[in-house]
């Protein structure tokens, strides 16, 4: 159940990012947002973990802010691999990564309190 909540929160955060940030587009409807969220989650869990380990000194020096750049890089990589996501430039990806992180954290926190199990 927790995994489904996280997946839904990530899909919702992608929707918010595409609504707020020019240069980020998900080409499709509801199921496409779920698909992009799934791919982003898988990439972030595998490649993202490796990138975060390799960039640990930069993460420590910037007090964690470099993690936004790592997530932006994963977002751009996903846009290259998937025809469902379009990212026009690096700064759009950085802003989107920031929005996705904040919205996912907020929605997950609210869902955790509303749905305890």
Between vectors from CA 11 to CA 58 and to CA 32, what angle results, nearest 5°? 115
How many separate domains does the chain show? 1
Residue with tokens 């964690």: 64
Residue pair 43/78 in contact by the 8 Å Cβ criterion: yes
Token representation of residue 78: 């996903």
CA distances in angstroms from 8 to 50, 53, 59, listed in the order given? 24, 27, 28
Task: Please state the pTM of the whole predicted model.
Answer: 0.90
Expressed as residue numbers, the domain containing 23 is 2-114
Question: Taking the chain (117 residues) in consecutive chunks of 10 residues, what is each chunk's mean pLDDT?
Answer: 87 95 93 95 94 95 94 95 94 96 90 74
């Amino acid at each position: 159940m927790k995994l489904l909540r996280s997946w839904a929160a990530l899909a919702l955060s992608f929707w918010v990012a595409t609504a707020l940030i020019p240069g980020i587009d998900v080409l499709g409807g509801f199921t496409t947002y779920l698909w992009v969220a799934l791919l982003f989650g898988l990439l972030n869990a595998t490649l993202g973990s490796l990138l975060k380990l390799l960039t640990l000194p930069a993460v420590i020096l910037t007090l964690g802010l470099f993690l936004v750049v790592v997530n932006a890089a994963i977002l751009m990589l996903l846009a290259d691999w998937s025809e469902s996501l379009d990212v026009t430039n690096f700064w759009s990806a950085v802003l989107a990564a920031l929005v996705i992180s904040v919205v996912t954290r907020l929605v997950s926190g609210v869902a955790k309190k509303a749905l305890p199990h």
